């Protein structure tokens, strides 16, 4: 699956930020990757790839200053040669998220719950070409 987004838009509250509109990738252990795709029309996708597993979650995002809100609405997953399974979801990603971009690195801070207690978490994604 190849997706290309090229756009610049005014950065009014609630509208996508031209700096955020792009593909950002995080390398995970075991050869897995997670790619975030922010499009200029407010659509969001997150792709997981590695081994026999491939999945994509889709939704929408809103920025307000450096605040980032992502709502996921759909999950597509495929294991090995099986058919793609499509599931409707309603999930907020990056709870209370904020972001900053430093060079070619996107840093997202958000609240996670690794042991049922809130923890401030930061992940870093590198701009992909």
Q: Please give the Cα distance from 82 to 123 (Å, whole number).
A: 31
- Give the total number of structural domains in the chain: 1
Is residue 8 one of the residues assigned to a domain? no
- Token pair 């509208």 is at which residue? 15
Q: What are phi and psi of 17, to 5 degrees?
A: -85, 130
pLDDT at 19: 87
The string of pLDDT tens digits covering residues 87-128 is 999 999 999 999 999 999 999 999 998 887 899 999 999 999
Residue pair 37/44 in contact by the 8 Å Cβ criterion: yes
Q: How many CB atoms lie within 10 A of CB 85?
A: 11
Is residue 76 one of the residues assigned to a domain? yes
Three-class HEC string of 101-114 = EECCEEEEEEEECC
The string of pLDDT tens digits covering residues 46-86 is 999 887 778 999 999 999 999 999 999 999 987 777 788 89
pLDDT at 103: 92
Range of the domain at 82: 18-127
Tokens of 68: 């980032």
Is residue 30 one of the residues assigned to a domain? yes
What is the value of pTM for the model shown?
0.80
Is residue 11 one of the residues assigned to a domain? no
Is residue 4 one of the residues assigned to a domain? no
Is residue 41 one of the residues assigned to a domain? yes
Is residue 7 one of the residues assigned to a domain? no
pLDDT at 12 over 90: no
Is residue 40 one of the residues assigned to a domain? yes
Q: Please give the Cα distance from 81 to 76 (Å, whole number).
A: 14
pLDDT at 3 over 80: no
End-to-end Cα distance, the chain: 15
Average pLDDT over residues 5-21: 55
The CATH number that applies at residue 43 is: 2.40.128
């Amino acid at each position: 699956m190849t997706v290309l987004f090229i756009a610049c838009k005014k950065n009014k509250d609630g509208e996508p930020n031209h700096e955020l509109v792009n593909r950002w990738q995080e390398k995970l252990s075991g050869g897995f990757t997670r790619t975030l795709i922010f499009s200029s029309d407010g659509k969001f996708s997150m792709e997981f790839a590695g081994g026999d597993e491939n999945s994509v979650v889709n939704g929408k995002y809103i920025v307000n200053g450096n605040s980032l809100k992502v709502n996921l609405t759909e999950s597509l997953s495929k294991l090995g040669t099986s058919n793609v399974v499509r599931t409707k979801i309603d999930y907020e990603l990056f709870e209370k998220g904020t972001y900053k971009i430093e060079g070619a690195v996107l840093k997202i801070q958000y609240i996670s719950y690794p042991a049922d207690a809130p923890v401030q978490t930061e992940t870093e994604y590198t701009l992909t070409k």
